[in-house]
A = this chain, B = another copy of it.
Amino acid sequence: MKKKVTLKQIARELDVSISTVSKSLRNSLEIGEETRLKVQAFAKFYHYKPNNIALSLKNRKTKTIGIIIPEIVHYFFSTVINGIEQIANENGYSVIICLSDDSFDKEVLNMEMLANGSIDGFIMSLSKETQQKGDFHHITEVINQGMPVVMFDRVTNDILCDKVIINDELSAYGAVQSLIDKGRKKIALLTTVDYVSVGKFRTDGYTKALRDNGLAFDENLIIKIENVDNCEITIATLLEDKAFDAVFAVNELFAVTIIKIAHKMGIKVPEDLAVIAFTDGIISKYSTPTISTVTQNGIEMGNVAAKILIERLESEEKELEEYEEEIYKTVVIETHLIERESTN
């Protein structure tokens, strides 16, 4: 068990000062070539690597990014993490991930934990509960301390910071329009209870598309699902009545659920019922029939979020404390429609 070697040990071993070792390893020309090479050879032999923690303390930056997301077992979020990780690694950053489990308290706790020096900046997506409460003090606080925050997907207008989002309303509009273009007239909306920002915007897009196309808006065709495992009867009743010939689901889980119910009832998708879903994931790709979706490019969201954060981090170094007004940007990532079997 050979413990990691430190500058101190190398110094003692080689009978020089710690400063000399440090400078040699950083290739300072202050140090004579002979000594420098000797130290470097020795360090290499013992696999010397500087201690990250010591560097962090000294430099007052950790070269790590904190990510806080509601859920990791969720294709979209995993995808975003992938995107962040990619850019982070390219720039010599690590990522430390905390899950809020959609709980306000966990989100606060995790942020406080990470904010105490462990990371240089945050990339986060709000928990449902946080959106519900509308309490963002923990985020304000972190920002006030000078730690940059980039929000993605589930963001809020109440916080001034960089944001990476998609245009939920417009994308929903496009999805519904595509159904209309295929001649569907009675389009239902399968949505959640609406305190989550994105759910609301998607509903808005749906409503607008109907209106712009002169289609009647029918309150009864807005189906709010609280619990997926428990919505079969409601949906079955509506299907029974042939109340609609197409459905726009705000997520793929809802989409596959209605497809399965329809299947059981002998209703054919897409012939009798066209289905389109928001958020492209694993389910849509492998469902039978495969499901048309609006893709949220998670990788790209992650990439962009990481780039913005890192840029801010690195620029801070120079213009330290220049009191120009902070100018935050909101980047809108393009979505697009993937047409699959469910809309034929």
Contacts and interface: CB of A to CB of B under 8 A. Distances in A.
Interface stretch (A54-62, A166-174, A219-227, A306-314): A54-62
A85 to B, nearest CB: 6
A118 B53 contact: yes
A82 B70 CA distance: 11
A235 interface: no
A151 interface: no
A146 interface: yes
Contacts of A79: 73
Interface in A314-340: 321
Contacts of A106: 89
Interface stretch (A93-101, A180-188, A191-199, A207-215): A93-101
Interface in A92-145: 94-99, 106, 112-118, 141, 144-145
A178 to B, nearest CB: 23
B97 A97 contact: yes
Interface in A45-100: 47, 49-54, 56-57, 62, 64, 72-75, 78-79, 81-82, 85, 89, 94-99
B94 A96 contact: yes
Contacts of A146: 1, 3
A28 interface: no
Contact of A53 (B56, B98, B99, B253): B56
Nearest to A95: B97
B288 A263 contact: yes
Contacts of A85: 72, 98-99
A22 to B, nearest CB: 16
A257 to B, nearest CB: 8
A97 B88 CA distance: 12
B82 A117 contact: no
Interface string A238-265: 0000000000000001001001100100
Contacts of A287: 286-288
Contacts of A112: 49
A297 to B, nearest CB: 13
Contacts of A263: 288
Nearest to A5: B145
Given A4-B145, A72-B78, A75-B282, 13 more contacts: A1-B321, A52-B116, A64-B118, A72-B85, A73-B75, A89-B106, A95-B96, A95-B98, A260-B288, A263-B288, A282-B282, A286-B286, A288-B288
